[in-house]
Amino acid sequence: MNRHDHDAAILAGAGESPADAWRRRDLDVVWHPCTQMREHPHALPLLPIARGEREWLVGMDGRRYLDAVSSWWTCTHGHAEPRIAEAIATQARTLEHVILAGCTHEPAVMLAERLLAIAPRPPGRAPLSKVFFADNGSAGVEVALKMAFHWFRNGGQPQRTKFVALENSYHGETLGALAVGDIPLYRRVYAPLLAEALFAPSPDAVLAPPGESAEQRAHRAADALAALLAAQGDTVCALILEPLVQCAGGMRMHHPAYLRRVRELCDAHRIFLIADEIAVGFGRTGTMFACEQAGIAPDLMCLSKGLTGGSLPLAAVLATQRIYDGFLDDSRERAFLHSHSYTGNPLGCAAALASLGIFESDDVLARNRTTAAKMSERAASFRTHPNVVDVRQTGMIVAIEMAPGADAGVDGTAVEIAGGRGLRAYREAVARGVLLRPLGDVLYWFPPYCIGDDALDLLAATTRHAIDAAFGGPTCA
Ligand code: PMP
């Protein structure tokens, strides 16, 4: 009898279901992320999950939940993917971890080689040619920000201390990453601790007034950025953005023309472009990396989440040779000393190599094109829904934005299951076996790539019920 069964047996004797027992034990000891813990026992009961299986999560009570959010956008090929599990197990029996300062190992070298080989590489531009490993997305963002600042400092331009970020952006929640994020609920409390950033208007296509196309909107936002850089560009070391989709900001999407303009502006002002592909990388938007759709390459590219297929925490920051060379010196202080204990962890690297192997062997990008078309068919019917104001899609991301309401969420911004309406939608979906976590008024589909047709049908039908429930219609709970 394993520990789980043992505990369940004891608790069943006490008249409590195993799922309820785990809920109770959890709330005794675990402090959850992104949660007002007071809501948990009643308004937001925890889902005790026993195992994962492709696009499904299986609860301890045997109920199945479609993971429509890919567990915070990490899961690419499905849960408990056997090839990734095998790679981790084999690596764990060989070398589970080794300090990466002064040592190296096969999975780190092979992963760096493969990432650089698939990184965006438009003709005429110096390629990304070095990989710095970290262990989660926010840490990767910190690395990129520090590298950009430090490079200019090493080069005799210490006055370049500022970062430009976009309105409605999200780059993580450590203090450096929060400083370049623009979601008030996450940022406001910590504002006194944050470095000052310059925020440029978002190119978000939804903000285009009637008659303006997404591309025109992109150009207008780029014009505003040009004005900002003309005024303050010589104090800036880097611009950071989420290419094509601002995910935590409510799955807001923009035209690739914006990225081309940003690339030109960064070059003109000699500042680095940091592409945060942590959420959109690894096939999510239709290409391996979102930057490819604009035909650009950044100077620094942050990867995490889908890097390991969603199995282990790992991040990688890809940098140009020019940036790397700016740290070569006799002085330790001019080196990039940033270090995390688990940087380049062999298990994470082995998982990432297995995940990249699956992209090739299963031709995942081609299959995603077919799946994205099926998502598009199912999303189309929401365009005429009376309570829906926008339906948008980029590759394997569909967002269905409900009409704004008084209880939409804190500040009306995209915060996960924030207000009464988001919570009602969430609860309705869970009762119907789908894990949907609305961002403010936005319900979105961000499924594991292996999602099947029946699961897509369930997702579409459940989304309709969730919207009804959000607007006070009949619920199944
Ligand atoms: N950047 C983006 C675009 C993200 O979506 C996230 C996470 N949602 C992060 C950075 C931070 O990653 P992590 O949660 O692993 O720190």
Task: Indicate whether 215 belongs to any domain.
Answer: yes
pLDDT in the model for residue 79? 98
Which of 329, 361, 393 is the endpoint of a domain? 361
123 shares its domain with 189: yes
pLDDT in the model for residue 13? 55
318 shares its domain with 402: no
Residue 117 domain boundaries: 88-361
Q: What is the CATH classification number for the domain harbouring 244?
A: 3.40.640.10
- The structure's pTM equals 0.95
pLDDT in the model for residue 409? 46
Nearest CA to ligand 1 atom 5: 279
Going from the Cα of 412 to the center of ligand 1, the distance in angstroms, rounded, reads 21
Q: Which of 74, 136, 171 to mutate to test the pocket of ligand 1 (most atoms within 8 A of CB)?
A: 171
**8-state DSSP, 64:** E
Task: Indicate whether 477 belongs to any domain.
Answer: no
Place of tokens 């049908």: 457
pLDDT in the model for residue 44? 82
Task: Indicate whether 222 belongs to any domain.
Answer: yes
Going from the Cα of 59 to the center of ligand 1, the distance in angstroms, rounded, reads 26
345 shares its domain with 462: no
101 shares its domain with 49: no
Which of 361, 391, 420 is the endpoint of a domain? 361
pLDDT in the model for residue 473? 76
Going from the Cα of 172 to the center of ligand 1, the distance in angstroms, rounded, reads 5
Atom of ligand 1 nearest to the CA of 246: 3
Atom of ligand 1 nearest to the CA of 304: 15
Going from the Cα of 139 to the center of ligand 1, the distance in angstroms, rounded, reads 9
156 shares its domain with 247: yes
Task: Indicate whether 251 belongs to any domain.
Answer: yes
Q: Per-block average pLDDT, block size 10, for the chain (477 residues)?
A: 51 77 96 88 88 98 97 98 98 98 98 98 96 98 98 97 98 98 94 97 94 97 98 98 98 98 98 98 98 98 98 98 97 93 98 98 98 98 96 98 68 61 92 95 97 98 96 72
Backbone angles phi, psi at 390, to 5 degrees: -155, 140
Atom of ligand 1 nearest to the CA of 242: 3
222 shares its domain with 298: yes
113 shares its domain with 15: no
Atom of ligand 1 nearest to the CA of 313: 15
141 shares its domain with 231: yes
pLDDT in the model for residue 3? 53
CB-based contact 39:418 (threshold 8 Å): no
Structural domain count of the chain: 2
104 shares its domain with 167: yes
Backbone angles phi, psi at 11, to 5 degrees: -70, -35
Which of 361, 394, 421 is the endpoint of a domain? 361
Going from the Cα of 79 to the center of ligand 1, the distance in angstroms, rounded, reads 19
Distance CA(414)–CA(242), nearest Å, equals 16
Going from the Cα of 212 to the center of ligand 1, the distance in angstroms, rounded, reads 31
CB-based contact 272:319 (threshold 8 Å): no
Q: Which residues sit with their C-beta closer than 6 Å to ligand 1?
A: 136-138, 141, 170-172, 242, 247-248, 276, 278-279, 304
Nearest to residue 47, comparing CAs of 453, 459, 437, 449? 437
Nearest CA to ligand 1 atom 7: 172
323 shares its domain with 431: no
